Amino acid sequence: MNTPWLASMALGMIALTPLSAIAQNINQTSLERTEIRTQTHTVVYRNPITVLNRAKNYARQAAEKRNGGLRVYRAEALMHGPVEQTRFVENNDGTVTFTFYGGAPAVKPTIESVVTVAVNGWATKIDYNGPIRSR
């Protein structure tokens, strides 16, 4: 049996799959719950970690843009690491809201940003961007 021939046929079938079918699979995947277990507790997320991580990046980038770019603003380090270490809420409408701090590079944060990201189109909305209210 010719394995390269089978592989090319499989790739051809994927290429011919309608985009609506692919989108449906993505939506079904995003409805699955992701479970993270630690030594002390279990956290269940509505969205896969990869989706939450991408949303985190969009939120951080929106704040970077709003605050003048990377030359004058840096989000706190946790916004550059694993999404599980960030402060976020998965909202009932399918959006994810991140709250984080930032400011001038190499200086203690002075700005609080609250950014909501729609994971079904990656639109971002800055809900708050100003002085840190409370920690």
Both structure tokens of 37 = 């277990």
Dump pLDDT digits (tens) for 87-133. 999 999 999 999 999 999 999 999 999 999 999 999 999 999 999 99
pLDDT band at 29 (very low <50, low <70, confident <90, very high): very low
Q: Which range, of 13-17, 68-72, 85-89, averages the lowest pLDDT?
A: 13-17
- pLDDT for the residue 19: 38
> Which amino acid belongs to residue 30?
S
Does the model's pTM come out above 0.85? Answer: no
Q: What is the 3-state secondary structure (H, E, C) of 34-98?
A: EEEECCCCEEEECCCHHHHHHHHHHHHHHHHHHCCCCCCCEECHHHHCCHHHCEEEECCCCEEEE
Question: In what helix (H) or strand (E) does residue 132 lie, and over which residues does it extend?
Answer: none
Domain range summary for the chain, segments of one domain joined by +: 49-131
- pLDDT for the residue 38: 55
Tell me phi and psi for residue 6, to 5 degrees.
Answer: -65, -40
For residues 101 and 75, give the distance between their C-alpha atoms in angstroms, rounded to a whole number: 6
